[in-house]
A and B are shown apart, each in its own frame.
Chain A
Amino acid sequence: MRARLFPHPLLTVLLAIVWCLLVNEVKLGTVVFGILLGLLIPIVTAAYWPDRPPVGRPIKLLSYLVLVIWDILVANVVVAMIVLFKSNKNMRPQWVVIPLDLRTPEAITMLAGTITLTPGTVSADLSDDGRALLVHALDAEDPDAVRDDIKQRYERRLKEIFE
């Protein structure tokens, strides 16, 4: 019963917040209508999302997001310096293969998104069995170092959060 009335509790909260942001005011009417939308839309669309994404530890997810935002800021400056001051001859673009320990699709999606958003690396493709990730690095002396860095810094944390 509860699962039928509230198929996606997180989606309900998210839809209410997005509605309040769209209207751009926090009044009683807006909040009530946002919550109404947040209750109706998940019920109508429940058939299209049979599974719920498992979030084991929300607090660790928050600290992971803070870490990623900090990395985006720092690495953007580094990449800006590379783009502006390094000549194309001295640049060493590399393909890096990252074997994955993660198995949940949500965790792999988060990892690929993190790799793309942190400058200097772009995730390009998954292997057909979903066990390796192809990453392009803008300027890397040593592909193994890039691989170990990503596995240590991001994949280990995501494994703690989702699995």
Chain B
Amino acid sequence: MITEAIIAALLVIGAFFTLVGSIGLIKLDNCMSRLHGPTKASTLGVGALLLASVVYSFNTADGSVHEILVMAFLFVTAPISGNFIAKVNMHSLRGKQALPPPPDDHVWGTYSEK
């Protein structure tokens, strides 16, 4: 009974955060702000759903933990793809919006010509 409540709670939490990530994607009004919603709200959302799946498999069958693999993979790759998309956005903002420059006459890595 308690495990069922835990599974249901994890499912609802996961679905809620996935939905919030996409609502952020559609609602926010500039391209860098939009990056905030999906890169992590979705990660936590899917993480909670995967955790629900692990608990569910222990509740009904022998149990399996291989969903942890997908979760670990998503948590490792989410910052990297977020970083790449941020760089694409920086290039499309170039000339339209002033970014704060780094100290000591350097430029940001993606703008340098090296």
Q: Which of B37-66 contact A (CB under 8 A)?
A: 37, 39-41, 43-44, 64-66
Number of chain A residues close to chain B: CB under 8 A = 38
In the assembled complex, the Cα of A128 lies from the Cα of B75 at a distance in Å of 27
| Nearest A-chain residue to B16, judged by Cβ | A80
> Looking at chain A's contact residues, is the secondary structure mostly helix, strand, loop, or mixed?
mixed
Cβ of A22 and Cβ of B36 under 8 Å apart? no
| Contact among A73, A93, A97 for B100, CB-based, below 8 A | A97
Interface size grouping (class) on chain B: 35 or more
Give a binary string over B92-104; 1 marks a CB under 8 Å from any A CB, 0 the rest. Answer: 0000000111111
A54 to chain B, nearest CB (A): 19
Cβ of A122 and Cβ of B35 under 8 Å apart? yes
In the assembled complex, the Cα of A119 lies from the Cα of B101 at a distance in Å of 24
| Contact among B40, B106, B114 for A117, CB-based, below 8 A | B40
Q: Assuming the A-B contacts A24-B66, A93-B33, A138-B36, are A83 and B20 also in contact, with contact meaning beta carbons closer than 8 angstroms in the complex?
A: yes
Residues from chain B with Cβ under 8 Å of A138 in the complex: 33, 36
**Additional A-B contacts beyond A97-B102, A128-B114 (14; CB < 8 A):** A21-B69, A80-B17, A83-B28, A83-B41, A97-B100, A116-B40, A117-B40, A117-B75, A125-B86, A127-B107, A132-B103, A134-B108, A136-B32, A138-B36
Which of B's residues lie within 8 Å of A, judged by CB?
A: 16-17, 20, 23-24, 27-30, 32-33, 35-37, 39-41, 43-44, 64-66, 68-69, 75-76, 78-80, 82-83, 86-87, 89-90, 99-104, 106-110, 112, 114
